[in-house]
Amino acid sequence: MADTTTVLGEYFIIRALENGVQVIGMTRGSETKFHHTEKLDRGEVMIAQFTEHTSAMKIRGRAILYTKHGTIPTVED
């Protein structure tokens, strides 16, 4: 169950710069596996949190991540 800390946790944003950007959620816990793949098309934005199910994410394709660690493009132009 999601506790308050999880639900109120930090959000970050993925902004797709091309079609078919993949956001791949990876499991929390002793086994690290993909558990979710989301496809974003150019101009689409996803706002997401890390949760008790998701501890890491892999982003494939051209996108910009807006996080508390800064604004991170997946590729340098």
List interacting residues with ligand TRP (CB under 6 A).
23, 25, 36, 38, 48-49, 51, 53-54, 57
- Minimum CB–partner distance for residue 45 and ligand TRP (Å): 13
For strands 54-60 and 21-27, give the pairing.
Answer: antiparallel
Least distance CB 57 / ligand TRP (angstroms): 5
Least spacing, CB of residue 63 vs ligand TRP, in Å:
13
Using alpha carbons, select from 74, 71, 41, 44 the residue that is nearest to residue 58: 74
